[in-house]
Structure 1
Amino acid sequence: MKIYSILSIQLIFTLFFLNMDSSDDFKDLLNQSVKDNKYILQVKPQEAVVINLWATWCGPCIREVKDLNELVEAYEGRNVRFLAFSKESVDDYKTFRKGRPNFKFKYELSFGDVNTVKLLQQLDKNDGVRVIPMHILIDKEGQVIEVLRGASWTNLQKIKSFLETQSGQIKK
């Protein structure tokens, strides 16, 4: 019986996502997905969102955290949310941190929320190969502006440009 419930939830997400058009507010769908998430609060209207899919075993994910943390600091108090989702458990993260006690990811972190991760991965329209890190940029109106695959200087610049259009220039 439990497997039918899981499959039903996945089917609902898939059907809803496939029926979305560009005028739909993706934040509504995201908020439905995270409503029972104990790590992430729902996104408010007029908040821009930068989402990161990552894992502790992903070298490029870990290397880009320093630059991503700088963005969190630069845009503090500017109506922007920085969310990170991992399929891993919080225990996996704690084990990872034991070997790296100085590691700090300043995004709001969510672990083990497989349904939200799957929802976000559906935004990746590339060849079906899943890549992390992946960044999703959602504007204040709830539209998915861009999905960026991998860790790169170019993707970081795209995130910065998005943030500038959503909340003004970076604090000096």
Structure 2
Amino acid sequence: MKALAGFVLSLFIFLYSNTEKTSSNFKEDFNKTLRKSSGIPELAQGEAAVINVWATWCGPCIQEIPEMNEIVHDYKGENVRFIAFSEETEKVYETFLKKRKSFQFDYELSFGNKAATALLKSLDKSDYKGRAIPLHVLIDKNGEVADVFVGASPINIQKIKGFLEANTSSE
């Protein structure tokens, strides 16, 4: 009986030690998604990211964009990327721009990338569970998800600024 228990334990240890390890951080998974389905370049090692999921029909999304554009300009030249994903097509965005000629969104923009938006929405552990936008995902310079939150508010803008203070450098 002891021999059988020893064999089972040895087999378990062998199988466990030889299983493929999952990727070490979110950035690796995200970059795999970008490689497969996006015109957005992958996130570089040591690079932080502020990611937004939005839509042209979302009033709060549109309302927060001017403040978010200011943040982009404030952190220009720092080691951070600002990327926005919309499940809408680029054609929908172009139609939207015809109606709002002064509209500008200074993030890198990706349209119709359902794989990336699904991955981002899966990070929302709030009561909304990825069903609400704007959704903000903050990726630290180590490639880990630092924060995920929903909504357009001065508090959320402050969260983004605080994150950037801790995760950027001009080096």
Q: Which amino acid aligns with 1:43?
A: L
1:131–1:75 CA distance, 2 compared to 1 (3 A): same
For structure 1, the residue ranges without an aligned partner over 5 or more in a row are 1-18
Deviation at 1:126, TM superposition (A): 1.8
Q: Which amino acid aligns with 1:51?
A: I
- Counterpart check, 1:54 vs 2:50: no
Maintained 8 Å contact 1:39/1:109 = no
Deviation at 1:38, TM superposition (A): 4.3
Structure 2 CA distance for aligned equivalents of residues 28 and 107 of structure 1: 21
1:134 aligned partner = 135
1:120 aligned partner = 120
Deviation at 1:101, TM superposition (A): 1.1
Map Cα deviations across residues 14-64 of structure 1 (whole Å, 9 max, x no partner).
xxxxx96xx931110010001134431111000000000000000000000
Aligned length: 149
Runs of 4+ in 1 over 4 A off after TM superposition: none
Map Cα deviations across residues 63-82 of structure 1 (whole Å, 9 max, x no partner).
00000000100001101000
- Counterpart check, 1:41 vs 2:41: yes
Deviation at 1:97, TM superposition (A): 0.2
Map Cα deviations across residues 114-163 of structure 1 (whole Å, 9 max, x no partner).
01100000000122361100100000000101001110100000000000
Q: Which amino acid aligns with 1:145?
A: A
2:157 aligned partner = 156
Deviation at 1:168, TM superposition (A): 5.2
User: How does the TM-score come out when normalised to structure 1?
Assistant: 0.82
Structure 2 CA distance for aligned equivalents of residues 100 and 76 of structure 1: 25
Maintained 8 Å contact 1:39/1:108 = no
Structure 1 CA distance for aligned equivalents of residues 38 and 30 of structure 2: 14
- Counterpart check, 1:70 vs 2:70: yes
